[in-house]
Structure 1
C-alpha cells in the first residue's frame, strides 16, 4: 500500500500545474496511460514537474545510447536499488522497445554477476589497479 494518494484524472484536472504535466506525459509518450508513479507525484506538482523534466531530458531524447539500452540500464540500476516498481515499469518499457527474452535473460545474468562481484570486491576492499584509473 502506498503512502500517498494516487490522484485520478478528475482530481488532477483540478490542479492546473499537475494537469499540464500529465498532458505533456501523454503527448510525449503518445499514450493516454498515466502510471501510478506520476499519479503519486501529482500530490506535489513542483516535484512532479522536476521529475518529469529530468526523465524527459535523459530518457526521451536522441543520444548516443539507443532507447532500449537506456531502459536496460534503468532496469539494472533499479535492481541494484531494490525498486520493484521501477524494475517492472522499465522491463515493460524495454519489452515495448523490442527487448527479446534472450536479451532479458542475459541482462538478468549480468545484473546478478555484477551484484555478486561488486559485493566480493567491496568485502575484500581490493585496491583499484593502476591501469584502471582514468
Structure 2
C-alpha cells in the first residue's frame, strides 16, 4: 500500500511476495539477495505471472547471452531508447546497471541525455543510431543501415541483437509508463 512518504510502485495491484508462485518468488528472492533490494519491475510484473515468466525469459535471452555486444553496450541500447521513449523507470534502473557494467559513473547519464554527445566510441554511436532507428523508424531500416553497422564490425546477428533489444524495451517502456512504475530509490546511487 502506498503512503504519502512512499508512493505506489504501480497503478495495478502488486502481489505480496508470499502470494506468488514458487518459481517467481524464488527468482525475486535471488535478485534481492544479489542486489540487496527487490527492483520494482519484478513486483509490478508479478501481477500477471505468465507474462512475468515470458518477459524475463526474453529479457534474459537478450541481455545475458554471449556475443559481440558487451553487457554494457546492451545496457546502452536500453538507456538511449528508454530515454527517447520517456521511460523514467528504465532510464534510472538500466542507467544504474550501465554505470556498473561500464565501470564508468558518467556514461549512463551522458547516454541518457544525448548519446550523440556522450563519451562513447564511433562503434557504439553506430550501434545506438541503429537502435534508435529500430525504435522509431523500423519500417525504414534497410541495407544502408546494415552496411553502416558492418563498417563498425557488427555482423547481421549483432544487428538482430541490437534490434531485438530496442524492440523489447519499447514494449517494456510502454508498459512501465502505463503502469506508472516507479524506480527504486536505490537505483539512483548505484555505480556512482
> Please, what TM-score do these two structures have when normalized by structure 2?
0.50
Q: Which segments of structure 1 move beyond 6 Å, counting only runs of 4 or more? A: none
Q: 2:11 corresponds to which residue?
A: 3
Unaligned runs of 5+ in 2: 1-7, 119-128, 147-192
CA spacing shift, 1:105–1:95, aligned 2, 3 Å: closer
Query: Is the CA contact (8 Å cut-off) linking 1:22 and 1:34 kept in structure 2?
Result: no
Q: 1:76 corresponds to which residue?
A: 80
CA spacing shift, 1:15–1:131, aligned 2, 3 Å: closer
How far, CA to CA, are the matches of 2:44 and 2:143 in structure 1? 46
Q: 1:38 corresponds to which residue?
A: 42
Q: 2:160 corresponds to which residue?
A: none
CA spacing shift, 1:93–1:36, aligned 2, 3 Å: same
How far, CA to CA, are the matches of 2:20 and 2:143 in structure 1? 55
Cα distance, 1:109 vs structure 2: 3.1
Q: 2:144 corresponds to which residue?
A: 132
Unaligned runs of 5+ in 1: 123-127
Q: 1:103 corresponds to which residue?
A: 107
Query: Is the CA contact (8 Å cut-off) linking 1:76 and 1:111 kept in structure 2?
Result: no
CA spacing shift, 1:67–1:46, aligned 2, 3 Å: same
Cα distance, 1:69 vs structure 2: 0.6
What whole-Å deviation, never above 9, does each CA across 1:54-105 have from its counterpart, x for those lacking one? 1111112222111111111100110111111100000011112134245346
Query: Is the CA contact (8 Å cut-off) linking 2:79 and 2:108 kept in structure 1?
Result: no
Q: Does 1:92 align with 2:100?
A: no
Query: Is the CA contact (8 Å cut-off) linking 1:26 and 1:32 kept in structure 2?
Result: no
**Pairs aligned (count):** 117
> Please, what TM-score do these two structures have when normalized by structure 1?
0.68
Q: Is 72-81 or 27-36 further displaced after alignment?
A: 27-36
Question: Structure 1 residue aligned with 2:20, among 15, 22, 35?
Answer: 15
How far, CA to CA, are the matches of 2:75 and 2:12 in structure 1? 26
CA spacing shift, 1:43–1:21, aligned 2, 3 Å: same
CA spacing shift, 1:131–1:75, aligned 2, 3 Å: closer
CA spacing shift, 1:27–1:64, aligned 2, 3 Å: farther
